[in-house]
Structure 1
Amino acid sequence: MSLTMSLARAVLARRPKTLTSVETAQKRVAERDAPAAVSRALLRSCHVEEETVGGFPVITLTPREKGSGTELVYLHGGAYIAAIIPAHWAFLGKVVAQTGATVTVPLYGLAPEHTVDDAFAFVPPVIEAVRRRAAGRPVFLGGDSAGGGLSVGLALHGQDVDGLVLIAPWLDPSASNPVAPGLVEIDPMLEIPGAAWAGQQWAGPHDVTDTRVSPIFADPTGLPRTLVLQGGHDVLLADTLKFCERAMDAGVDLRFRVEPSGFHVYPAATFTPEARRAVKLIAEFMRG
């Protein structure tokens, strides 16, 4: 573990964990911040455009220099109840710098006001518009945590992309994996009860085991090339391992890395060597 990763873990360990109970999750919704604005660093390095699609904002980051023509549609995490935060923009800035990709960020509606049905109506037209703009160049879909799970759900239900980039994907909001609770003690960030409540809100009228909500229950056959980056000290590790094993058994072209000391969505700690390695892996994967 690098010194900076160790310091980041120490800071996280001093903070109260999120989603420790239904009450803390509900409080998070009640006190929810507005989506973080695009950082000044990104405004300097990228052309930033914002449009509205189906009533939701879509932000596109196009590198001012050394663009590769590759496209990435990125869905942020936050247990489906929290908005995009500055760490997401910082991470995406590193991805743009390393890959030269144009990154499109659909800010999907959050639970409990919105559900998976709203996301499945909103995101596919955004991806289709990106495909038209790409004119045959590669289009990737990815995200972290909840955004990673949503990316898998979309790909499993017919969304055509050239690859998936998944960072600690939340694949089982039903919280049914009996191994997961054993990871809570070493995870400095997350607990299960509040997350399970958030997953139920996101499911809306559907059962939380619906494969659009919990893609862990789907047959992964036919998924595109996939990169999965996962921290070893993350309660979601158990589900990620299960998903990767099933995907490889199904013949999916999958690359998988566990950062042994990594906490949840560790690549967002952009000041660490571990995060720099993660971004390098993403760039290599997107270059094919």
Structure 2
Amino acid sequence: MSFKMEMEKFFAKMGKADKKMALALEQPKRGTGELELLRFTKKVRVKTWDADGFCGVTINGSYTKNAHILMLPGGAYTLEPTGRSREIAEYFAMEERMRVSIFQYPLAPEYTALTAHQCLIKAYTGLICEYPDDEFYLFGDFSGGGLALSFLQELRDMGNLPMPVKTAVVSPWLDISLNNPRIKIAKKTDPVLPVDALKAAGARYCGPLEPDHPFVSPIFGDWNHLGPILIFSGTEEILTPDCELLAERAGTLEGTELIYKKGAGMPHNWIMTASKETEATLELISSFFQEEHMEF
């Protein structure tokens, strides 16, 4: 493990990152503006758009291919995207020459999962209409990963929109209730995620939906016929027990290729830290998206 990642884990523990996140979830900041045009590097072209008033941006590097990532940033369905989400999108656009659209879907507590899904359908439909020659890929981290997997199931059930070619998620929130008994053990090594605060945030996001509804807990949905899916989680985070539970079903699925990569010693959502491990993970995701056959 790189020195930078070791230091990130050390400071997360010593700085009580879980308590800071709990406070942020109780008092979420709004209007942080991390997706504003002027915040992006001048090396990419940026176009803004909206779906029912919720903002999105599409960025292009030089000589962009017709591969198009729809990126759903994490934040426990409550926090706005950080600058790292923007930097990751810039990486895919500049280094991998893929078009990237980031959608800031509706967040709790102002909105619930029903509104988030309604707006995401409109955003995806609009992108397909505007870029009819593009092949779409779905990418999300943390709650964005959970939403991506819920959305994938919804698209399959709707049957009137093209499915993403492939999906990749990092540290996805698969069960909004966090009731897996193995989470109590995992919590001992997770310095980032506050279980009780996440449960409260998840309840706000559920709104009228039951916690086992696939819109909020994709692990309880139908996982057949979703195409290739690449999932990452770290050995030192509370979301890994549910990822392991899902991975156990991989061999029983029809029309879904589930690839699970567990990062040894990795903390929650490590791609939010610029490091050698993050570079390797993003390269794997890019290769997964763009290669027809790849050994993992």
Query: What is the rounded CA distance, in whole Å, between the counterparts of 2:243 and 2:139 in structure 1?
Result: 15
Q: Which segments of 5 or more consecutive residues in structure 1 lack a partner in the other structure?
A: none
Contact 1:69 1:100 in 2 (8 A): no
Query: What is the rounded CA distance, in whole Å, between the counterparts of 1:42 and 1:55 in structure 2?
Result: 21
The structure 1 segments of at least 4 consecutive aligned residues displaced by more than 4 Å after TM superposition are none
From the superposition, tell whether residues 219 and 20 of structure 1 become closer, same or farther in structure 2 (CA, over 3 Å): farther
Equivalent in the alignment of 1:17: 17
Query: What is the rounded CA distance, in whole Å, between the counterparts of 2:83 and 2:223 in structure 1?
Result: 32
Segment of structure 1 superposing worse, 65-74 or 141-150: 65-74
Segment of structure 1 superposing worse, 183-192 or 244-253: 244-253
1:121 aligns with 2:118: yes
Query: What is the rounded CA distance, in whole Å, between the counterparts of 1:221 and 1:262 in structure 2?
Result: 29
Contact 1:244 1:256 in 2 (8 A): yes
Q: Deviations over 1:198-250 (max 9, x none)?
A: 11111101111111110111121111211112112111011111122224421
Query: What is the rounded CA distance, in whole Å, between the counterparts of 1:52 and 1:137 in structure 2?
Result: 19
Residue 131 of structure 1, CA deviation: 2.1
Equivalent in the alignment of 2:159: none
CA-based RMSD of the aligned residues comes to 2.0
Report matched runs for 1:183-198 at 5 Å: 183-198=186-201
Equivalent in the alignment of 1:130: 127
**Match among 50, 53, 73 for residue 52 of structure 1:** 50
Could you tell me the TM-score, scaled by structure 1's length?
A: 0.91
Report matched runs for 1:66-85 at 5 Å: 66-85=63-82
Residue 36 of structure 1, CA deviation: 3.9
From the superposition, tell whether residues 19 and 154 of structure 1 become closer, same or farther in structure 2 (CA, over 3 Å): farther
Contact 1:189 1:264 in 2 (8 A): yes
1:218 aligns with 2:215: no
Task: Report the residue type matching 1:224 in the other structure.
Answer: G
Query: What is the rounded CA distance, in whole Å, between the counterparts of 2:47 and 2:239 in structure 1?
Result: 33
Query: What is the rounded CA distance, in whole Å, between the counterparts of 2:10 and 2:53 in structure 1?
Result: 40
Number of matched residues?
283
SS of the residue corresponding to residue 232 of structure 2 reads: strand
From the superposition, tell whether residues 225 and 31 of structure 1 become closer, same or farther in structure 2 (CA, over 3 Å): closer
Residue 266 of structure 1, CA deviation: 0.7
From the superposition, tell whether residues 100 and 176 of structure 1 become closer, same or farther in structure 2 (CA, over 3 Å): same
Equivalent in the alignment of 1:242: 245
Segment of structure 1 superposing worse, 28-37 or 142-151: 28-37
Query: What is the rounded CA distance, in whole Å, between the counterparts of 1:88 and 1:118 in structure 2?
Result: 22
Contact 1:141 1:161 in 2 (8 A): yes
Query: What is the rounded CA distance, in whole Å, between the counterparts of 1:135 and 1:287 in structure 2?
Result: 18
Query: What is the rounded CA distance, in whole Å, between the counterparts of 1:139 and 1:62 in structure 2?
Result: 14
Equivalent in the alignment of 1:93: 90
Query: What is the rounded CA distance, in whole Å, between the counterparts of 1:20 and 1:43 in structure 2?
Result: 29
Contact 2:73 2:144 in 1 (8 A): yes
SS of the residue corresponding to residue 267 of structure 2 reads: coil
Sequence identity percentage: 22
Q: Which segments of 5 or more consecutive residues in structure 2 lack a partner in the other structure?
A: 157-162, 292-296
The one of the two structures with greater contact order (alpha-carbon pairs below 8 A, sep at least 6) is 1
SS of the residue corresponding to residue 157 of structure 1 reads: helix
Contact 2:235 2:262 in 1 (8 A): yes
